[in-house]
Amino acid sequence: MGGGAARLYGALTPPLPPTSPQPADANLDPAFCQGRRSSSACPSDPAALLRQCEDALGADRAPRLHRTFTRVTDGDGVPGNGVRVMQWNILAQALGEGLDGFVRCPPEALSWSRRKYLILEEILTYRPHILCLQEVDHYHDTLQPVLAGLGYGGHFCPKPWSPCLEVEGNNGPDGCALFFDRSRYELLDSVNVRLAAMRIPTNQIAVLTTLRCRSSGTRVCVAVTHLKARSGWEWLRSAQGSDFLGHLQNLVRDPAGDPAASAAPLFVCGDFNAVPTEEVYRRFAASPLGLDSAYKKLGEDGATEPEFTSWKIRSTGECRATLDYIWYSRDSLRVDRVLDVPTEEQIGPNRLPSVSYPSDHLSLVCDFSFKEKE
């Protein structure tokens, strides 16, 4: 680990203080160095920046995954008060190149010089109002500057013991990032949380943010997390989920302390690393917060998760599973549209990541609206 990475790591270990911006990557193209300065080479228009990404990837690029929205409206909502939420584990650069061992993915497809354009292209294609990301290790030099230039506010929480730091030439620790469209939402509060299991701090974290809708004045709570990976750790994910739910219950309470006040609408996004049969999933589905999983709306019965949100081939074998979720308050929010999941044929025999898709996890995108108050 280089001296710069070591200093950065030291600054970000518990108690997880707010992080300060780092110098932009010297190899980053000017079009992706918007930051706090303006530049004619850095368009603030999403459509213009999307075209720059497409141009950078070239005319001979592999075709993108073709995905469409499915309308699943399940009730009356407040007109003109929609919100688009995007959840995505983008694959940490250091892990993709150094530790994850994607044996069927060409090395050139894992280079940051290519992946950064594919990641930004995916985000710019769907233009979410709220964006929740995991495995972010290029927050300060890429994602925060670019998205700030497009009008997003952002918060980042690094893992205290990120595996990225074990990779030579790493870009610092990976973590969770939460972005919101400042034209739509005003920031009220945002905190970083280190999740505990049986009161013992763990390596997994969360960002909990409270926003106010500028048009309606509605307080909206958003949280993003990334729970412990790998089989055999189900008990730890369950304990982390229990701790996380406690933080969420405090998050949605009325700030004035009125116990009779309605809880704020809540979005919870994350790579839970847990299939729907795991205890942590059941905890969320049965919690007093009244949460439901948006992607169940794609199922014929409206109660079944997709067959997969992640599909990869490592040296240890092939893994196809549903691990990622967008949870929402079913009493105050309705799901209007859900971005579909690609077919096996679309993904291809080498699975993810690939020359056409930058992560081993699919992005999840949903359009919501607020239900009419009774």
- What is each CA distance from 249 to 43, 210, 211, 265, 329, in whole angstroms? 40, 13, 16, 11, 12
What is the torsion angle, in degrees rounded to the nearest 10, for the CA atoms of residue 374, residue 185, residue 84 and residue 16?
-110
Please tell me the total number of residues recorded for the chain in this structure: 374
Q: Does any domain span residue 35?
A: no
pLDDT string in tens for the chain (374-residue length): 333 333 323 332 333 334 344 444 434 454 444 433 434 455 588 999 999 999 999 989 988 999 999 998 755 555 457 999 999 999 999 999 877 788 899 999 999 999 999 999 999 999 999 999 999 999 999 999 999 999 999 999 999 999 999 999 999 999 999 999 999 999 999 999 999 999 999 999 999 999 999 999 999 999 999 999 999 999 999 999 999 999 999 999 988 777 767 899 999 999 999 999 999 999 999 999 999 999 999 988 888 999 999 999 998 899 999 999 999 999 999 999 999 999 999 999 999 999 999 999 999 999 999 998 75
- Tally the domains of the chain: 1
How many Å separate Cα 314 from the centre of its chain?
23
Sign of CA dihedral 266, 271, 276, 282: negative
Q: Does any domain span residue 36?
A: no
For residues 283 and 237, give the distance between their C-alpha atoms in angstroms, rounded to a whole number. Answer: 11
Q: Does any domain span residue 34?
A: no
Q: Does any domain span residue 29?
A: no
How many Å separate Cα 39 from the centre of its chain?
28
Q: Does any domain span residue 28?
A: no
CATH number of residue 265's parent domain: 3.60.10.10
Q: Residue 221: give the domain boundaries.
A: 3-15+46-371
Q: Does any domain span residue 122?
A: yes
Q: Which residues contact 230 (CB under 8 A, 6 or more apart)?
A: 273
- What is each CA distance from 62 to 59, 92, 108, in whole angstroms? 9, 22, 13
Q: Does any domain span residue 272?
A: yes
